[in-house]
A and B are shown apart, each in its own frame.
Chain A
Amino acid sequence: MAQEGEGTYYVPAQSKWPIIASIGLFTMLLGAGMMMNDMSAGVKDSFAHYVFFGGSLIMAYMLFGWFSNVIEESQKGLYSAQMDRSFRWGMGWFIFSEVMFFAAFFGTLFYVRYFAVPWLAGEGDGASTHEHLWPEFEAAWPLMSNPDNETFPGAKALIDPFHLPLINTLLLVASSITLTIAHHALRKAERTKVKIWMILTLILGFAFLYFQFEEYAEAYNELGLTLSAGIYGSTFFILTGFHGAHVTLGATMLLIMLVRIYKGHFEPENHFAFEASSWYWHFVDVVWIGLFIFVYLI
């Protein structure tokens, strides 16, 4: 805590990574924006994807270099206990920001379900909207038939929650358990055990991603459940899509941790990178439980 007087607080002198990160982020997003505008305008031959790809390369280089720096410094023992707490606060509040990001989409789901769709069907203040615009429309959830079915053709069928989603729930919950076992092993310095349980965690994580991919293929090819299938498809894909992206990021972090374990990094008492990755993984797991209940089950 702030009361401690001794120890060293590491203030790096200069760093080239932040400016590289800013240039990379700008280039990547510029390219992404150009690609999207070209796509919507129907422009075929453009160099937008090169801009995006270039920006992504800069970002990848930056992430690799910046984290290498941090890992080097950590291995050299430059970080004090106080520095460690700064990292902990940083990661904790970052995860809180992620919680709020998902909260926006969950909030959207609840609002649409409990307010927007019933109002469109004439409930509450929505009587005249209903009568004048879409008198045929009936409220339901999941919403299979939209007010404007020509622009937004509803899905023919939905994902069966007790098939792939249930398997995925079991996979992710199991991966949280295996990761915790790996963490306990790391604290006891049983490194072979750490490796086995980490590999198992990663297999479970990638299996989840594979099934999620299968589910999307099924949704698009067989069920007509697409991004443009109206609000059900919109909320379904934004929630599961961003969750999938976060699983990918979490799995990448865990993969890097595994590589570091093989390189002999981490000590029983000092392994915050590992802990941060596992916090993130558990967070992603908790979001999935919310998804399974509110998107698939009820």
Chain B
Amino acid sequence: MTAVTDTTNGKSNEHHDHHGPAKGLMRWVLTTNHKDIGTMYLWFSFIMFLTGGAMAMVIRAELFQPGMQIVDPGFFNQMTTMHGLIMVFGAVMPAFVGLANWMIPLMIGAPDMALPRMNNWSFWILPFAAVMLVSTLFMEGGGPNFGWTFYAPLSTTYAPPSTTFFIFAIHMLGISSIMGAINIIATILNLRAPGMTMMKMPLFVWTWLITAYLLIAVMPVLAGAVTMMLMDIHFGTSFFNAGGGGDPVLFQHIFWFFGHPEVYIMILPSFGIVSAILPTFARKPLFGYTSMVYATASIAFLSFIVWAHHMFTVGIPLVGELFFMYATLLIAVPTGVKVFNWVTTMFRGAMTFETPMLFSIAFVVLFTIGGFSGLMLAIAPADFQYHDTYFVVAHFHYVLVPGAIFAIFAAVYYWLPKWTGHMYDETLGKTHFWMSFIGMNLTFFPMHFVGLAGMPRRIPDYALQFADFNMIASMGGFMFGTTQLLFLFIVIKCIRGGEKAKDESWEGAEGLEWSLPSPMPYHTFTTPPDVK
């Protein structure tokens, strides 16, 4: 199989080099190359990470001390809302899609993604959607201020006019995600090299296959939810208005039917990344590959039948509380399988602790802490106490920051030598890790305590007894935030130069991607490799 490169649109480009990229800005705008598109996804994600991070800094600055200091409460609400939306839809999801774009074709020996032009469109929708989303902050009445979960009627009856544009931004992000996911599924199912059977695929490919399925299943449901919001706002319907026979709680059901699979969309690719990195630096094969695949599939299945655990206090029938509690607790089983396998992979391994490994080990430990607080929240009667407190904030930041974000950092450090042809600066990398690790724990660990003591989430001011822990959290937050500028520096430094990376950049690294030169040619696997 050879990849035929051809120019198809009217403005043809005869001197296009079959092995190198086009020149200039238009290379990036018109590209169909999975590496270019992956790179754009990753940079976009990083810009969004800093944008959403800046909003988190505003939040932590306001909460540094009790009382109202810096922003007014309305703006504070816009910050919490936009921080969540930007981090979920702008930072974490695009980062994983970027990694998928870069790595899946390399891992399965494919010449590119299955539908390269659609791949470009999936990416280029994102900057436009982000502009629309962020522009709401400058509109009359301010941006969305109802939390990233946009519960009706806050997001319908009482919403600012900019909500209309928020809805369309969500639609655009959804279209992008669905097309990206379709592309990934088609690539994995159709473009594997000869001999690359399903059960030989690296776990990153497996977890992404399942993630893509989740995306296609739930993003349309989110589209349905925001469409009904739009109808309620502008066209007089009463989906979420009890006066017309609808129900605001219905919004929560639909939102969380999307939202719970969504949180697994943000963690399953992390599982794949960590499952690639731990064996490399422990110099042992991954323990329990098959059980990892089945555990991932089980988690994906369970994610569809646990949504109401986000709504224990809203007033659902007792039988619902019980069903969703037990179903949620079941998730601990496949997740436990995974943690067990990772620990067993490292057990008696010849371990070294380069930056990707540090982030991966921190992932296993801290994600497990987030998992345990999740178990506490899953217990319906206990959740009556924890609901909407900072304990919940602590929980989901423990699964998202050292879960999703640390895994993305680990992946970037792990594959950066392959992408750029240079080793990154190991000392700076380790500094980045330790600063992030300490900063992140300082920020979010005290939130468990204030949450258990009853501090509600999403408020700009709080009672005096929470002052000390909040100040610690704010200092940790500033530390974590500024540390990410170091990460930017490390990546740029690595792109510009550094120690030459070997083809197999890490001793003990396995997988098709390491059989390619570092840095890689523009087109790879135009003839598929033979996988034994």
| B 1-33 binary contact with A (CB < 8 Å = 1; else 0) | 111111111110100100000100010011110
Q: Is A78 an interface residue (CB 8 A)?
A: yes
B139 — nearest CB in chain A belongs to which residue? A37
B11 touches A86 (CB 8 A): no
Question: Is B234 interfacial (CB-CB < 8 Å)?
Answer: yes
Within 8 A of B (CB), among A119-160: 119-120, 124-125, 129, 133, 143, 146-148, 151-152
Distance (whole angstroms) from the CB of B133 to the closest CB of chain A: 12
Taking a contact as CB atoms closer than 8 A, the residue among A4, A85, A97, A231 that contacts B194 in the complex is A4
A19 at the interface (CB under 8 A from B): yes
Residues from chain B with a CB closer than 8 A to the CB of A152 are 236, 238, 241, 243-245
Task: Determine whether A112 belongs to the interface, using a CB cutoff of 8 Å to chain B.
Answer: yes
| Most interface-central of A11, A82, A94 (chain B CB within 10 A) | A11
Q: Are B13 and A14 in contact (CB under 8 A)?
A: yes
A96 contacts partner chain B, Cβ-Cβ < 8 Å: yes
Q: Which residues of A contact B16 (CB under 8 A)?
A: 13-14
**Is B102 on the interface with A (CB-CB < 8 A)?**
no
A45 interfacial by beta-carbon distance below 8 Å: no
A89-B189 contact, Cβ under 8 Å, with A22-B121, A29-B171, A101-B224: yes
Question: In the complex the two chains form, is A111's CB within 8 Å of B247's CB?
Answer: yes
A203 within 8 A of B: no
Asked if A233 is at the interface of the complex by the 8 Å CB criterion, the answer is: yes
| With contact pairs A11-B111, A30-B165 given, residues A227 and B8 touching in the complex (Cβ less than 8 Å) | no
* B59 within 8 A of partner (CB): no
Question: Most chain-A Cβ atoms within 10 A of its Cβ — which of B193, B228, B235, B245?
Answer: B245
Contact of A36 among B121, B164, B190, B219 (CB under 8 A): B164
A30 to B253, CA, bound (A): 28
Cβ of B182 under 8 Å from chain A: yes
Which of A98, A226, A234 touches B220 (beta carbons < 8 Å)?
A98
1/0 per residue B187-211: CB within 8 Å of A? Answer: 1011111111000000000000000
Q: Which residues of B contact A228 (CB under 8 A)?
A: 235-238, 244
Query: Which single residue of chain B is at the shortest CB-CB distance from A83?
Result: B114
* Complex interface: stretch among B124-132, B336-344, B400-408: B124-132
Task: Assess whether B1 is in contact with A6, with CB atoms less than 8 Å apart.
Answer: yes
Q: A14-B22, A231-B245 are in contact. Are A100 and B217 (CB under 8 A)?
A: yes
Chain A positions within 8 Å of B164 at CB level: 33, 36-37
B7 touches A11 (CB 8 A): no
Q: What is the distance, in angstroms, from B383's C-beta to the closest C-beta of chain A?
A: 17
Say whether B220 contacts A97, CB under 8 Å.
Answer: yes
A25 touches which of B31, B114, B128, B227 (Cβ 8 Å) = B128
Contact at B317–A124, with CB atoms within 8 Å?
A: yes
**Stretch in A102-110, A187-195, A266-274 with 4+ CB within 8 Å of B:** A102-110
A residues less than 8 Å from B235 (CB atoms) = 227-228
Taking the complex as formed, is A221 at the interface, i.e. its CB lies under 8 A from any CB of chain B?
Answer: no
Is B500's CB within 8 Å of the partner chain A? no
Q: Known interface pairs A8-B4, A16-B9, A152-B238. Does A89 touch B247 (Cβ–Cβ under 8 Å)?
A: no
Q: Are B32 and A22 in contact (CB under 8 A)?
A: no
Q: Are B128 and A147 in contact (CB under 8 A)?
A: no
Q: Which 7 A-B pairs have CB atoms at the shortest separation, nearest pair first?
A: A104-B224, A148-B243, A228-B236, A2-B192, A231-B245, A18-B121, A152-B244
A-binding residues in B (CB < 8 A): 1-11, 13, 16, 22, 26, 29-32, 108, 111-112, 114-118, 120-121, 124-125, 127-129, 131-132, 161, 164-165, 167-168, 171-172, 175, 178, 181-183, 185-187, 189-196, 216-221, 223-225, 227-228, 230-231, 233-239, 241-247, 249-250, 253-254, 257, 315, 317, 523, 528
CB pairs A–B below 8 angstroms (11 shown) = A9-B191, A11-B111, A11-B116, A17-B121, A21-B124, A66-B117, A96-B217, A105-B224, A111-B253, A227-B236, A228-B236
- Besides the known contacts A26-B129, A104-B257, 16 further A-B residue pairs in the complex with CB atoms under 8 A apart: A2-B192, A3-B195, A10-B4, A13-B13, A14-B22, A15-B32, A21-B124, A29-B172, A36-B164, A97-B182, A103-B224, A104-B223, A104-B225, A107-B257, A108-B254, A232-B245
